[in-house]
Amino acid sequence: MLNTIISKSASASASASVPSTGSGRVRLIIEDDDCEEEKETLSSFLSKYKSREYLPSSEFSTLLTHGFPSCIPLHKYSPTHQIIKVTIDDLTKAQLTNWEYNRPPDDIRCEDLARYYYHTSKETADTMLCINFNNIKQSFDVIDGIHRLTALKKLAIANAIGSDPEFAGDISKLLNSYVLLNIRLTAPDEVLIEWFKTLNKSIPVPELYIRDRNAERRRIVEMVANDWQVKYKAHFSSVANPNKPNTNRDMFIQLLDHLCEKFKIFEENKYKLEEKLQKLNVYLLDQIEKNNVKKITKAIRDKCIKNLCGLFVLTNEQIADEI
């Protein structure tokens, strides 16, 4: 912001801050106070609507400009549905996430696609991705095209940091080329699922996969519960309210459900659940061996050490708090 300082006073204070030209005229001084208005970012723009379920359709164009600086609108289906084009460079740097009903991207397939773009396509990626902006999560979700996006990201990162000699050549033409985005604004799940099915009409119905997050989480919980019940059989009881250092299957499943929700555990990060349980288990065993755990008997201590299981000296609530 520019401040204009003009003084016609002959007072001492004025003469000290507003120099005279010596001819009776007052010199005009323009000072830059370095208070230039801070440029709005995507995060600061979205923060205004964080408490809302939907972003106003009137802000769609602003959202696209912030999310994809190279964005060029091509076609408008409705106030909340457009076709735009963006550079691959912008695409690989944008805040994009995989739609919750999609499978995680297959690494091998993505690597093959990255090689195709680098060795065969070279200067362009002739493709279109389908995306929805989710204001609750404040993210752009990739409905269709997650493998192509992941491949382009892998290629761009490997080229930038020099981590793979295979992708060491100049890819500036590819990064500066444009791809199409078919993008919707805060569309409900039922619309997105129908859109996904329409996009994949050529795929046989038995092969068409829409991710069921609840079923996925149930499988993870059952798998971990089974593993622990086998590994630490002596610590699983059939009674409704087992004593330390024991639990029962129902109680353990309740704990796992809570931890899955707390840490957003799904197929792509399911290893974290076992990792967190074992980290606390190992820590508690160490404390038990050092007699640092209060209110446990020698029999409890000996059982835990013998079976390498210290987790269940704590209640479910205590475990959840400690993890």
Q: Which residues of 27-40 are buried (b: 16+ CB within 10 A; e: fewer)?
A: eeeeeeeeeeeeee
Task: Out of 158, 189, 207, pick the residue that ends a domain.
Answer: 207
Residues 194 and 227 in one domain: no
Query: Would you put residue 137 in left (φ > 0), alpha (ψ -120 to 50) or beta?
Result: alpha
Q: Is residue 37 part of a domain?
A: no
Q: What's the confidence (pLDDT) of residue 206?
A: 47
Q: What's the confidence (pLDDT) of residue 242?
A: 94
Q: What's the confidence (pLDDT) of residue 5?
A: 29
Q: Which of 157, 168, 167, 153 is nearest to 115 (CA)?
A: 167
Residues 48 and 150 in one domain: yes
Task: Out of 207, 226, 253, pick the residue that ends a domain.
Answer: 207
pLDDT tens string for the chain (323 positions)? 333 323 333 344 433 444 444 444 444 444 444 444 567 888 889 998 888 888 999 999 999 999 999 999 999 999 999 999 999 999 999 999 999 888 888 889 899 999 999 988 878 888 999 999 999 888 999 999 999 999 999 999 998 888 888 888 889 999 999 999 999 999 998 899 889 888 877 555 445 566 677 888 889 999 999 999 999 999 999 888 999 999 999 999 999 999 999 998 988 889 999 999 999 999 999 999 999 998 899 999 999 999 999 999 999 999 999 99
What is the pairing mode between strands 178-185 and 128-134?
parallel
Residues 52 and 16 in one domain: no
Residues 132 and 60 in one domain: yes
Q: What's the confidence (pLDDT) of residue 210?
A: 64
Residues 203 and 312 in one domain: no
d(CA 54, CA 299): 58
Q: What's the confidence (pLDDT) of residue 226?
A: 94
Q: Is residue 120 part of a domain?
A: yes
Residues in a beta bridge with 131: 142, 183
Q: Is residue 262 part of a domain?
A: yes
Residues 184 and 316 in one domain: no
Residues 222 and 113 in one domain: no
Task: Out of 207, 230, 253, pick the residue that ends a domain.
Answer: 207
Residues 307 and 224 in one domain: yes
Structure tokens at 152: 């382009």
Residues 149 and 203 in one domain: yes
Residues 145 and 78 in one domain: yes
Q: What's the confidence (pLDDT) of residue 203?
A: 56
Q: What's the confidence (pLDDT) of residue 251?
A: 95
Residues 174 and 62 in one domain: yes
Q: Is residue 15 part of a domain?
A: yes
CA angle 193, 196, 198 (to 5 degrees): 110
Helix (H, G, I), strand (E, B) or coil at 86: strand
Number of separate domains in the chain: 3
Q: C-alpha distances in angstroms, 308 versus 127, 234, 273, 277, 286?
A: 53, 11, 18, 13, 10
Residues 191 and 78 in one domain: yes
Q: Which of 161, 182, 183, 172 is nearest to 89 (CA)?
A: 172
Q: C-alpha distances in angstroms, 65 versus 16, 51, 60, 144, 283?
A: 48, 22, 9, 21, 49
The residue range of the domain holding 26 is 2-32
Q: Are 149 and 110 in contact (CB under 8 A)?
A: no
Q: Give CB contacts under 8 A, 24+ apart, made by 93-97.
A: 94/67, 94/68, 94/140, 95/42, 95/67, 95/139, 95/140, 96/131, 96/139, 96/140, 96/141, 96/142, 96/149, 97/137, 97/139, 97/140, 97/141, 97/142
